[in-house]
Amino acid sequence: MTAIVNIFLKQGVLDAQGKAVFHALKSLHFDTIQDVKIGKQIIVDLDTQDYNQAKEDVTKMCEELLANTVIEDYTIENIK
Amino acid sequence: MTAIVNIFLKQGVLDAQGKAVFHALKSLHFDTIQDVKIGKQIIVDLDTQDYNQAKEDVTKMCEELLANTVIEDYTIENIK
């Protein structure tokens, strides 16, 4: 099975990379731009056909390694 | 409108970060793990209600700044 994990900084934590890209796009004259947030997308392939086990494993991976839960939120989507 | 851009290394380009995380997960005894790919997810807020203009603008942003199209592929999803 494959799972997609999206990791973004929590609300209130400064997204310096997003701000830098926002200003770069402004200076390239993309005048409609309002905000940019940058996160990570991680695609995990698992050798199991069990949806629940996959979900449990990926949640544990996020908690233990993939996300820094002090400053980051993660969502797991599209397990199939 | 908001658009989500996902950027991953092209097939054949070494994903060193993905490989490192794969081995880290292995060494944490996640035995079901088969592969890990790591990319970027960028959320862009635009001050327009026109779907076609939003799509065109975001495509241009990807080509000019967000993605390095020599080594990266991008997909634009969920414009709304």
CATH code for the domain in which residue B45 is found: 3.30.1280.10
Q: Model-level pTM? A: 0.92
- Span B29-64, pLDDT tens digits: 999 999 999 999 999 999 999 999 999 999 999 999
- Residue B56 is encoded by which pair of tokens? 């065109």
What interface predicted TM-score (ipTM) does this complex get? 0.91
* Structural domain count, chain A: 1
Alpha carbon of residue A60 to chain centroid: 15
- Residue B38 is encoded by which pair of tokens? 């790591």
- Host H or E run for residue A37: strand A33-46
The residues, any chain, with a CB within 8 Å of residue B63's CB and separated by 6 or more, are B69
SS3 content of chain B, % helix, strand, coil (to 5): 35, 35, 30
Spatial contact of B76 and B7, defined as CB atoms under 8 Å apart: no
SS3 for A66?
helix
Instruction: Supply the pLDDT for residue A79.
Output: 84
**Beta strand spans in B1-80 (E):** 2-9, 33-46, 72-77
**Pick among A21, A43, A48 to test the B interface (most B CBs inside 10 A):** A43
Structural domain harbouring A39: 2-77
Which residues on A lie below 8 Å from B60 (Cβ)? Answer: 30
**Pick among B25, B44, B56 to test the A interface (most A CBs inside 10 A):** B44
When CB atoms are compared, the residue of B6, B45, B65 closest to A41 is B6
- Span B2-26, pLDDT tens digits: 999 999 999 999 999 999 999 999 9
